[in-house]
Amino acid sequence: MNDPNMTRDAASLRDHGIVYFGNDWYAENRTSSHHVATRLARRMPVLYVDSPGMRAPNASGRDLKRAVRKLLAAFKRPTRVSDGLWHCTVPQLPFRRLPGVDAFNRLFGRWAVRRALRLAGIHRHISWFVVPHPGVHAGKLGEDLVVYYCIDDYAAHPGVDATLIAERDETLSRRADLLCVAPPALLDAKRALNPHTVFSPHGVDVDLFAQAQDPATETPALARDLPRPVVGYIGSIHDWIDVPLIESLARARPQWSFLLVGHAHVNVDGLRALANVVLAGPQPYASLPQWSKAFDAAIIPYRLNRQVANANPLKLREYLAAGKAVVSVRNPEIEKFAHVVRLVDGHDAFLAALDDAVTDSAPEAVHARMAAVVDQTWDARVEAVLAEVASRLSPHSHSRSPS
């Protein structure tokens, strides 16, 4: 990862900026979209564009009023988040099937992005997409290169306009000058669409999560006096989380504590009713090692569906970087860590593995888990991708004309 050629390639990009189409910058979850953009901004100017949601539009007056408010907000100047990083929102009107709405969204979006780039002082640039639906702007912004950093099977997300998202994902995958793929299960299909496809797995903030093993790190007050062992989970509680599994585990071990850190997007009344379950809600990203320190074991309780089969969970590497024993369902990416993760099939096997995991705190076991991800930092991942970008940029160094 410290190849001098790689460093030289990254340096050659300094006369470029990036317009980065990502998830909501202010969402409580820090996704790979945030981690990569932050590190790119240390190397070159980045305009982070909040992209509209992927859910199917709801033909309601409320949706329309919200869309109009966001359209008006798009006229504001981009906000400087930190050195080298600007943020703006480019919303769209819902009701895409109405005549003229889709054309308006495209034209307005391109105007708004070009305006924000100009106000941020970014001239020569690369278009970088982390979500597929704004991919209609690829090649239309005068960019020197189009990068699609595919981190998920987006059409499999619950509640999205699956047909539209699948179509835009495929179109952007074919169009990209460089297609980076994080989930290994998607790699072969993407390579069939684009010969310029590379595997770009997720990283982890190794130094941050290692704080969970530092005696000086304080456990949050809510987690400090919980009956042990403590089984922990960090992340949103969404449709793809097996809430009944967590309930069954908590009922089977009433003397244990189950500490869940993250926003609940689904009904969790069954969990709230259990005395040994603590729902801590969303917490600042920088505080997650403090919460992790309270865990005797961590869990990845996904439902087994198409989305999970193609997932590349950030929490896996974060748990391991914190040195925590992990019990998880299976998928291709998680199975790569079978030497340090307990992989299970079914509720009974999950409980049995947890019985073993909560006592697995020997120093050599903690070291093995941390060592499994120590070289997988976000900085190393971004350097590797930038080397690929530089290698693709040279034949595309002429600026495309906006259209």
For residue 401, is it within any domain?
no
Cβ pair 232, 299 in contact under 8 A: yes
Residue 353 pLDDT: 98
- Identify the H or E element spanning 350: helix 347-357
Picking from 284, 224, 286, 285, the residue whose alpha carbon sits closest to that of residue 259 is: 224
Q: How many helices (H) and strands (E) does the chain have?
A: 17, 14
Strand partners, 86: 47, 80
Residue 1 pLDDT: 44
For residue 233, is it within any domain?
yes
- Residue-wise pLDDT tens for the chain (403 aa)? 445 544 455 456 778 999 999 988 887 777 888 999 999 999 999 999 987 665 555 544 555 565 566 666 667 889 999 999 999 988 766 656 667 778 888 898 899 999 999 999 999 999 999 999 899 999 999 999 999 999 989 888 887 888 889 999 999 999 999 999 999 889 999 999 999 999 999 999 999 999 999 999 999 999 999 999 999 999 999 999 999 999 999 999 999 999 999 999 999 999 999 999 999 999 999 999 999 999 999 999 999 888 888 888 899 999 999 999 999 999 988 999 999 999 999 999 999 999 999 999 999 999 999 999 999 999 999 999 999 999 988 654 444 433 3
CATH number at residue 175: 3.40.50.2000
- Tell whether 194 and 91 lie within a shared domain: yes
Supply the Cα-derived Rg of the chain in whole angstroms.
Answer: 22
For residue 315, is it within any domain?
yes
For residue 403, is it within any domain?
no
- Tell whether 242 and 333 lie within a shared domain: yes
- Tell whether 305 and 259 lie within a shared domain: yes
Residue type, 102: D
For residue 327, is it within any domain?
yes
Cβ pair 13, 54 in contact under 8 A: no
What angle do helix axes 243-252 and 347-357 make, rounded to 10 degrees? Answer: 60
Residue 100 pLDDT: 74
Residue 300 CA to residue 246 CA, distance in Å, equals 10
Cβ pair 344, 327 in contact under 8 A: yes
Strand partners, 80: 86
Range(s) of the domain holding residue 297: 206-371
Other CB atoms within a 10 A radius of the CB of residue 191 amount to 16
Residue 51 pLDDT: 79
Strand-strand pairing, 85-89 and 79-82: antiparallel
Strand partners, 230: 257
- Tell whether 235 and 183 lie within a shared domain: no
- Tell whether 144 and 177 lie within a shared domain: yes
Q: How far is the CA of 395 from the CAs of 4, 17, 145, 378, in angstroms?
A: 21, 18, 10, 27
For residue 128, is it within any domain?
yes
For residue 402, is it within any domain?
no
- Identify the H or E element spanning 209: helix 206-209
- Tell whether 61 and 195 lie within a shared domain: yes
- Tell whether 37 and 121 lie within a shared domain: yes
- Tell whether 196 and 298 lie within a shared domain: no
Picking from 194, 177, 187, the residue whose alpha carbon sits closest to that of residue 153 is: 187
For residue 22, is it within any domain?
yes
62-84 residues labelled b (16+ CB within 10 A) or e (exposed): eeeeebeebbeebeeebeebeeb
Per-residue pLDDT tens over the stretch 326-358: 999 999 889 999 999 999 999 999 999 999 999
Total count of domains within the chain:
2
Cβ pair 194, 179 in contact under 8 A: yes
* Structure token pair of residue 382: 């971004």
- Tell whether 190 and 232 lie within a shared domain: no
- Tell whether 219 and 297 lie within a shared domain: yes
- Tell whether 190 and 285 lie within a shared domain: no
Per-residue pLDDT tens over the stretch 357-369: 999 999 999 999 9
- Tell whether 224 and 84 lie within a shared domain: no
Residue 284 CA to residue 31 CA, distance in Å, equals 13
Q: How far is the CA of 329 from the CAs of 45, 137, 336, 341, 353, in angstroms?
A: 39, 37, 13, 10, 11
Other CB atoms within a 10 A radius of the CB of residue 341 amount to 24
